Amino acid sequence: MEISAAKLKRLASTYREYAGEAVSVEIWDSTVTVFGSELAVLRIFHKIGQHADGRVEFAKGRGAWMYAQDVECLRGNLGRQVAA
């Protein structure tokens, strides 16, 4: 199962709207990960994370804050996908 490029683009657009600034969106297997400023990911968490399995943490390897959420409907072997 693979998420379409159009769906990934819409998902990225939604997270950018929630964040109020530029963010990058990646999908690793069944986890949607959004990288951005601390304020951006906290805005996302406030909007949807507290009602889902969302979490906010600092990604040392990327030097950026991240919001990550497991998405049950994406379970399977999606591999890694990055929004353009």
Identify residue 61 by its one-letter amino acid code. Answer: G
Looking at the DSSP bridge assignments, the partners of residue 59 are: 64
Residue 51's Cβ-count burial label (10 Å; 0-12, 13-18, 19+) is: exposed
Residue of 53, 54, 68, 60 whose CA lies nearest to 23: 68
Does pTM top 0.85 for this prediction?
no
Contact, 68 vs 57, CB < 8 A?
yes
Domain positions in the chain are: 5-78
Backbone torsions φ then ψ of 42, nearest 5 degrees: -70, -35
pLDDT at 77: 43
pLDDT tens for 29-83 read 778 899 999 999 999 999 886 767 788 999 999 999 999 988 765 555 445 555 6
